[in-house]
Each structure stands twice: as C-alpha cells, then as structure tokens.
Amino acid sequence: MKENKYNDTDFYSKYAEIRRSKEGLNGSGECSALISQIRC
C-alpha cells in the first residue's frame, strides 16, 4: 500500500511554514495576480 504523506507530522510541520499556510489566500501569488485581473 502507498504511504500517505498527510499522516506524517514532519510533512505538516513543514507545510505550516509556507507563506500560503500563514497568510491564507493573500499569501498565494496566483490569488493576488488573479484579483488584479478581475477588479473593475
């Protein structure tokens, strides 16, 4: 059976450090680029 990386505590500790995890959608580059394109 394939190992599930989502059960790995090291995976979650590293995932928590990324900008998107800390800032939500405002921390993702693609979201800010998309919003700039759709604002009127």
Segment 2-8 mean pLDDT: 79
Domain carrying residue 14: 5-38
Q: Which residues are CB-contacts of 12 (< 8 A; sequence separation ≥ 6)? A: 6
Residue 23, pLDDT > 70, answer: yes
Output the pLDDT for position 26: 77
Cβ neighbours, 10 Å, residue 2: 4
Residue 8 has pLDDT above 80, yes or no: yes
Does pTM top 0.75 for this prediction? no
Over residues 25-36, mean pLDDT: 78
**What is the tally of structural domains in the chain?**
1
